[in-house]
Amino acid sequence: MKFDFLTIEGNIGSGKTSLAKKIASDFNGKLILEEFADNPFLPKFYKNSKSNAFPLELFFMAERFNQLSGEKSEIDLFSEFTVSDYSFFKSKLFAQNNLEQDELNLFNRLYNIMFSTVKKPDLLIYLHADIERLQENIKIRGREYEKNISNNYLKEIEKKYFDYLKKQNDFPVLMLDVSKQNFIEDHKIYNQIITEIKEFEEDVRIKSLILG
């Protein structure tokens, strides 16, 4: 693989984990997955977001920091590269969407300290899917605590991602529209993704593409 550290990002239900797993499996990559099940505040958050948002976001940020900090210091002799299904900066985006201002102020102080030390991706692949497709995927995977996620919430998260990625300069971004495509079942689409990764020019800051 051309890049040492790939990150797959996107909205809830966009297919991040599926793509990360497939790339890691096909190209002998070390896989880093976000551990949702370990966060005890997640089911509580979807029932009562206001009272559980702050511990939820702190827990997620701490877990992401632990995983990615370890990645920066460890050398895996048996893997050619690393691919993760999340980025550290998503901590900030979800916090902006979920926290009250006083909570966000404290959160950002901690975030800024951590962000300066975690490993940044050599290439970030952002999977964009329209809201209808996201809801379909969320329904299919059947997580009980996700069943009441609203379209408005997904739109807010999407906007946070778009705004951040347009302004940041920490890593290059490949934005792929997968709204109408199934890259797991359609080998042609998956191969197109792999080709785009391999041919991505390192001096490009951001590239957008509709697959198909």
pLDDT tens digits along 110-124? 999 999 999 899 999
pLDDT of residue 36: 79
Q: What domain count does the chain have?
A: 1
Largest CA distance in the chain: 48
pLDDT of residue 17: 97
Return the percentage of the chain with pLDDT > 70, whole number: 96
Average pLDDT of the chain, as a whole number: 93
**Rounded Cα gap, residues 83 and 124, in angstroms:** 10
Residue 7 lies in a domain: no
Looking at the predicted structure, is the pLDDT value of residue 10 above 80? yes
**Rounded Cα gap, residues 84 and 65, in angstroms:** 13
Side-chain half-sphere of 19: how many Cα atoms within 13 Å? 30
pLDDT of residue 152: 97
Q: Which amino acid is at 203?
A: D
Residue 179 lies in a domain: yes
- The helix (H) or strand (E) run that includes residue 208 is strand 206-210
126 exposure class (CB count in 10 Å sphere: 0-12, 13-18, 19+):
buried
Residue 72 lies in a domain: yes
Looking at the predicted structure, is the pLDDT value of residue 98 above 60? yes
Residues contacting residue 131 through CB under 8 Å, at least 6 positions apart: 151, 154, 155, 158
**Rounded Cα gap, residues 62 and 52, in angstroms:** 16
Beta carbons of 49 and 103 less than 8 angstroms apart? no
Residue 13 lies in a domain: no
Q: Which amino acid is at 142?
A: G
Residue 40's domain spans which residues?
34-196
For residue 107, the domain's CATH number is 3.40.50.300
Residue 202 lies in a domain: no
pLDDT of residue 212: 73
pLDDT of residue 37: 75
| Mean pLDDT for the stretch of residues 186-194 | 96
pLDDT tens-digit profile of 123-151? 999 999 999 999 999 999 998 888 889 99
pLDDT of residue 130: 97
Residue 156 lies in a domain: yes
pLDDT of residue 118: 93
Residue 28 lies in a domain: no
Which of 13, 50, 20, 12 minimizes the C-alpha distance to 124? 20
pLDDT of residue 96: 96
- The DSSP secondary-structure symbol of 175 reads E
Of the ranges 27-36, 74-83, 168-177, 190-199, which one carries the lowest mean pLDDT score? Answer: 74-83
pLDDT of residue 1: 77
pLDDT of residue 190: 97
pLDDT of residue 43: 86
Residue 67 lies in a domain: yes
- The DSSP secondary-structure symbol of 12 reads T
Which of 194, 72, 212, 28 minimizes the C-alpha distance to 125? 194
